[in-house]
Amino acid sequence: PGRTTWKLEAVVIGAGRPRRGPMRLVGTPAPPAVAYTDEGTRVVPVLSGNKLELRTERVAAVLTRQSAVEGAVRLEVKILGPAGPVALRLTEWRTKETREYALRGSAGTRTADVPLSAFRGGDDIWGVQLVTEGRPLTVAARSDAPDGCYPLPGGRELCAGPNPSGDLVLTDRAVQPVVTAADWAASGELTLAGTFPEPTGADHELVLRHSGHQEEAVVPLERADDGGFRAVLDPSAVDGVGGTVPLAEGRWYPFLRVPGERDPEAYRPLRLGSPLHHSFPRQQTLLGRDFTLQRRHHDRLALESGSPLPVTVRGAYGQRLQRERYAALRARTADELRPAVLYSSFDGRQFSDSPRAVHRELAARGADIEHLWVVRDQQAAVPEGVRPVALHSAEWHEALARSRWIVTNTHLPQWFERAEGQCVVQTWHGTPLKRVGRDLAGTPHADAAYMASMERRSAQWSVLVSPNSFSTPVLRRAFAYGGEVLECGSPRNDLLYAPDRAKVAAAVREELAIPEGRRVVLYAPTWREDRPRKAGRYAADLPLDLEQAREALGDDHVLLVRRHYLVGGSVPDTAFVRDVSRYPDVAELLLISDVLVTDYSSIMFDFAQTGRPMFFHTHDLAHYRDTLRGFCFDFEHRAPGPLIPDSARIVAALRDPEFTAAGHRDAYQRFREAFCDLDDGNAAAGVVDRMLAHDQPHEGEQA
């Protein structure tokens, strides 16, 4: 049959001249579905790289019906020409193995029965042709007809339907969930319904998995006796331990999985039935961001979450304009400042840590002050009385320029310059065990430009909050800071001394559904710079054997897993495991934890306030100490608990933590004397007193 390829171009008139270029599909989605102009002519959209082309071609034979007969699949094919086929041939695409089956029927229609026993469970894909005296005829399959799926032994199926070129293929595969209906309500609710005739009858849940950092969101699933399923989700309001937030920016793939399954290879991807291909992509705008249902890899369903920022501020050019606007808006006198506090915790990733404690204290005083919270990608839920400010937005730039107070636990942008009368409080986020800032010089992952920027960055701080006497000289040196230091302890630890801490602990246990009488283990490892980075997050490093821990401890323990905020991935919740990585306030987790397992995380200094046992999973101690990061003190000799390199020994120690930790009682006491000397529950009050003081020290003046 004749074939013609058309290349698509766009012409734009600019500056009096026509400018032309190819039409492209960015983001590598699947090309549009095959379309028929008449019974025997089709248009096949194809991608050359990301350039969209249209291929028009004649069709010689087309599938008109498929059905299950005893032990076989019956295929009925219409011949659109004079050819007289004598057999139906299957050809496996990779091995080129062929099989032929007899045809029967009238001159215009042929039927063949393909036995299901011919398929061996090898993830094979078979092309379908009709054998003639001349060249074989490829059999087309229209996408407006339902796909056929036929059960095979071993939890597999044979699926008959069109490939991306519109030709019929038979696919031998594990049983897959197929979406047959996707309805998006104006309210934002997306309903996905389909079939999943999984032979074991096991319970399943819908999980959305980010293609970059592998974060996951779980959605309840309804199953029917006939193998059908239905799920309803609102991508702008997904529930989790961190609150109700939209899906983070990026591409999310939906899967079905057995609850608690940790191996992504066992997840079943949602595939889109062929009759729906013509209606995709579909888009809905919610909370200022676009959510787009797409086809990828021909029939894989994907949900794209767009940026919440307006187009005008995205990208390098938009951000450059905003920085210029910031410079113009920056207050020249104290009178130009707004009575507002701009809080930032982990660059807008959380409503947490010491900035949260400072906000709590300041709000309790009832001052007439506006509270603004930096939020990255709408991923932090803030309480009533706090206004979220989108990171990198025009409002964020203005708040940096005009807020009278800024409270942050990480570095501000390098271009930030403190305005006259502006008070910048740097709380940092923990006691430095591992080297930070300029102390990283000489390590493999040292960033020379970052270290060179320390002196200018720290010069913009009005005051640095030190969590303990040990940290003061370390932070001064690491950040090249010569300004005021407020040695008052860590505001984020105030909750550990609060009069109502028992009441808070009970509420947290209830929120996390921890049964009465269960011992709580908090597992909180730090991040590794040498782990591959994807979508802004480092790969998860959870060497503790969770399955081994469940077998040994699952009857009377609950394991809370808290990944570092820079680490991606997820840990499916079970009766034994809770993924609390998105839980906003780590101090609340410390309140309810009976024992801590970490490696080199600064959370050890906070947990030491409780006096409860700590174990250190030092599986890579030599590498971390000598090559990767290094320590600010002799951690091995001053650790307040046993250093245990082996996962099995960690699990064994958790059976009786008090007994295992008994030999480190003196070391624990010395550790508390050295690193818990300032915390008394009043750190946030001290910070707020300093913020509200009328007589601010001059720039560069030390406390």
Q: Do residue 323 and residue 386 come from a single domain?
A: yes
User: CA 597 to CA 661: how far, in whole Å?
Assistant: 12
Q: Which domain holds residue 339?
A: 311-493
User: Is residue 691 situated within a structural domain?
Assistant: no
Q: Which helix (H) or strand (E) holds 622?
A: helix 621-623
* Helix 683-692, helix 353-364: angle, nearest 10: 70
Domain boundary among 493, 527, 555: 493
Q: DSSP code of 626?
A: I
C-beta atoms surrounding 620 within 10 Å: 17
The reply to whether 564 and 619 lie within a common domain is: yes
Distance CA 210, CA 176 (A): 20
pLDDT at 199: 85
Q: Is residue 41 part of a domain?
A: yes
Same domain, 348 and 454: yes
Where does 365-433 have alpha helices with state H? 394-402
Beta-strand relationship, 519-523 and 557-561: parallel
Task: Name 471's Cβ contacts closer than 8 Å, sequence gap at least 6.
Answer: 431, 432
pLDDT at residue 703 in the model: 37
- Asked if the peptide bond before residue 525 counts as cis, ω within 30 degrees of 0, the response is no
319 and 441 in a single domain? The answer is yes
217 SS3 class: strand
Output 120-125 pairs: Cβ under 8 A, ≥24 positions apart. Answer: 120/172, 121/152, 121/153, 121/154, 121/156, 121/172, 122/172, 123/172, 123/173, 124/92, 124/94, 124/95, 124/171, 124/172, 125/92, 125/93, 125/94, 125/169, 125/170, 125/171, 125/172
CB-CB neighbours of 693 under 10 Å: 10
Q: How far is CA 168 from the centre of its chain?
A: 36
- Asked if 319 and 300 sit in the same domain, the reply is no
- Residue 376 burial (CB < 10 Å; 0-12/13-18/19+)? buried
d(CA 584, CA 589): 9
Name the packing angle between helices 394-402 and 315-329 (round to 10°): 30
Claim to verify: residue 576 and residue 595 sit in the same structural domain: yes
Q: How many CA atoms lie within 13 A of 290 on its CB side?
A: 9
**Claim to verify: residue 362 and residue 466 sit in the same structural domain:** yes
Count structural domains, the chain: 5
Location of structure tokens 């696919």:
171
For residues 583 and 562, the answer to whether their CB atoms sit within 8 Å is: yes
**What's the rounded Cα separation, in Å, for the pair 214 and 570?**
7
DSSP 288-355: TEEEEEEEETTTEEEEEE--SS-GGG-HHHHHHHHHHHHHHHS-SSGGGSEEEEEEESTTTT-S-HHH
Residues 246 and 222 in one domain: yes
User: Are 370 and 475 in the same domain?
Assistant: yes
Pairing of strands 370-375, 338-344: parallel
Low-confidence ranges of the chain (pLDDT < 70): 1, 533, 535, 694-703
Six-digit token string for 541: 């490093």
Domain boundary among 148, 174, 200: 174
Does residue 684 lie within any of the structural domains? Answer: no
Is residue 500 in a domain? no
Give the span between the Cα atoms of 534 and 569, in whole angstroms.
10
Give the pLDDT score at 699: 47
Q: Could you tell me if 86 and 208 lie in one domain?
A: no
Distance (Å) of CA 431 to CA 229, 496, 577, 592: 49, 16, 28, 21
CATH number of the CATH domain containing 145: 2.60.40.10
Q: What is the pLDDT of residues 226-273, one digit of tens each?
A: 889 999 999 999 998 888 999 999 999 999 999 989 899 999 999 999
- CA dist., res. 250 & res. 237, Å (int): 16
Q: E strand or H helix at 43, and its extent? A: strand 41-48
Same structural domain, 45 and 64: no
**The two three-digit tokens of residue 631, written as one number:** 């320590």
Bridge partner list, 550? none
How many Å apart are CA 12 and CA 532, to the nearest integer?
41
DSSP state at residue 499 = T
Alpha-carbon distance of 398 to 324, in angstroms, equals 11
Q: Tokens for 97, please give them.
A: 């193995």
Q: Please say whether the beta carbons of 397 and 328 come within 8 A.
A: no
Which of these three, 249, 284, 305, is where a domain ends?
305
How buried is 153 (Cβ within 10 angstroms: 0-12 exposed, 13-18 middle, 19+ buried)? exposed
Residue 701 within a domain: no
Domain membership of residue 51 (yes or no) is yes
Q: Are 57 and 2 in contact (CB under 8 A)?
A: yes
Residue that has been written with the tokens 């505001």 in this structure: 491
Q: Give a three-class secondary structure readout of 509-543.
A: HHHCCCCCCCEEEEECCCCCCCCCEECCEECCCCC
Cα torsion for 475, 480, 484, 486, to the nearest 10°?
-10
- Looking at the structure, tell me whether residues 398 and 537 fall in a common domain: no
* Contacts with 470 (C-beta within 8 Å, 6 or more apart), sequence order: 431, 633, 674, 675
Residue 362's CATH number = 3.40.50.11820
- Give how far Cα 621 sits from Cα of 174, 389, 434, Å: 42, 40, 12
- Please report the sign of the dihedral spanned by the C-alpha atoms of residue 333, residue 337, residue 339, residue 345: negative
Q: Is residue 368 part of a domain?
A: yes
Please identify which residue in the block is written with the tokens 């989700």.
Answer: 233
The candidate with the shortest Cα–Cα distance to 427, out of 388, 467, 374, 377, is 467
Is 687 inside any structural domain? Answer: no
Secondary structure (DSSP) of 571-616: ----SSEEE-TT-S-HHHHHHH-SEEEESS-THHHHHGGGT--EEE
DSSP class per residue in 126-158: EEEEEE-SSSPEEEE--TTSPPEEEEETTTEEE
